[in-house]
Amino acid sequence: MMMTSNRREFLKQVGAAGVVSLSATPPQFLASAADLAATATNRDQRVLVLLQLAGGNDGLNSLIPYGDPAYYKARPGIGIPKNQVLRINDYVGLHPRLVGLKELYDEGNLAIVQGVGYPQTDRSHFRSMDIWQSAQPLNPAPRDGWLGRALDWQFDRQPARAEGLALGTDKLPLAFVGGRVSVPTLRRLEDFQLVAGHGPESQLKLKKETLHRVIQSTAPNDRELDFLRRTTATALTSADRLKSLNSNYKTTVDYPSTGLATRLKLIAQMIAAELPARIYFVSLDGFDTHAQQEVGHSALLAELGGAILAFQRDLAGHGLADRVLLSTFSEFGRRVAENGSLGTDHGAASMLFALAPNKGGLYGSHPSLTDLDDGDLKHTSDFRSVYASLLNWLQIPGESVLGQQFDPIGFV
């Protein structure tokens, strides 16, 4: 009865001082100012950003084999005209809305991996996404993800460095599920705001000071009350820390006004602030282009290219570009032939982009457009070889995460 009374009194004091409104669990690396000082990233620590193109990106209209007549024969309605292609060589080029990525490619900072996939592709969104995020094609019900296993490996050696963050989602991606490290999600920056009511600034400041005193006051021996105090303190510190990211961050880069650009800008802010997260996960949705593909897919590629270019320029402006590798992935590509609705249906192999400092170029071989597997491209690069490369970047042995050895691809 006494403990219940203590908790009731604490909540009453908190309510009188101000209200903390948080819609998600604050990331641990934002929760304690003292911990931040101890666990901030080394200036040479590498960071990985994994960017999901959700829905199944059409690789053939992203990296266009304009030099192959079979492409235009299969896609008379949605094929990108040769005179619009941003040419890389005499066979392939980028979609005309990917001008930002072409700029990075020409500078030697964008890698393009061709023909990425896995044997016996599953054309279900859910199953194929599970395969990509777990890196376990033969496991029908994976319980952990490849990034989660990577963070577990890191935790066993340097616990303070085993941090990740999923942005723009309420649900933790399977890729981040592990046994030893809990990865937070952050849907949007506004989820971590202190709400102290309305009134003059001086009154709000007084409320906040009072709330801090209530939290720091001596607590009776009550485990649940102690938990409430620590949770409230975490909320306050997290809100302050994220607010300081916005106020202290300076950039000359004009980011596009898109959701992806906003999330990548926040990641750039966190990296510049030397927060300890090593792995970030973001997603761009809408790539399931079954009908009238041209307009929607073009807009998505423009958002993708503009956001990645701004992100790279921002990192470069802060001297951080050589520490950050960004890689895209999608659960599958699309069929080679367009459908009757001027769209494309679920396919198999595709391609991916990697923002790879000074390691740009074209990697792997482009799949044949005539030697097909039931109308789909045959993969020429195993996606786990891409993951082995990303793990090399993080200086984590690929075999310990992937369960067997895969030859890395040379963009790391």
Let me know: does 86 contact 305? Beta carbons within 8 Å: no
Domains and CATH numbers, the chain: 25-189+254-402 (3.40.720.10)
SS3 content of the chain, % helix, strand, coil (to 5): 45, 15, 40
With H, G, I as helix, E, B as strand and everything else as coil, classify residue 257: coil
Let me know: does 267 contact 314? Beta carbons within 8 Å: no
Let me know: does 406 contact 385? Beta carbons within 8 Å: yes
Structure tokens at 74: 């299969």
Residues 31-61 as b/e (b if ≥16 CB within 10 A, e otherwise) read: bbeeebeebebeeeebbbbbbbbbbbbbbbb
Q: Which residue has the tokens 């906003």?
A: 262
Q: How many Cα atoms occupy the beta-carbon half-sphere of 158 within 13 Å?
A: 17
The tens-digit pLDDT sequence of the chain (412 residues) is 444 555 565 555 555 544 444 444 555 565 543 344 444 455 568 999 999 999 999 999 999 999 999 999 999 999 999 999 999 999 999 999 999 999 999 999 999 999 999 999 999 999 999 999 999 999 999 999 999 999 999 999 988 788 899 998 888 999 999 999 888 888 766 555 444 444 565 655 665 566 566 556 655 555 555 554 555 555 555 556 666 666 678 899 999 999 999 999 999 998 998 888 899 999 999 999 999 999 999 999 999 999 999 999 999 999 999 999 999 999 999 999 999 999 999 999 999 999 999 999 999 999 999 999 999 999 999 999 999 999 999 999 999 999 999 999 999 9
E strand or H helix that includes residue 195: strand 192-195
Across the chain, how many H-helices and E-strands are there? 13, 14
Let me know: does 187 contact 170? Beta carbons within 8 Å: yes
d(CA 305, CA 323): 20
Let me know: does 109 contact 357? Beta carbons within 8 Å: yes
d(CA 393, CA 323): 9
Structure tokens at 197: 């009511």
* pLDDT of amino acid 136: 97
Structure tokens at 5: 């009374």
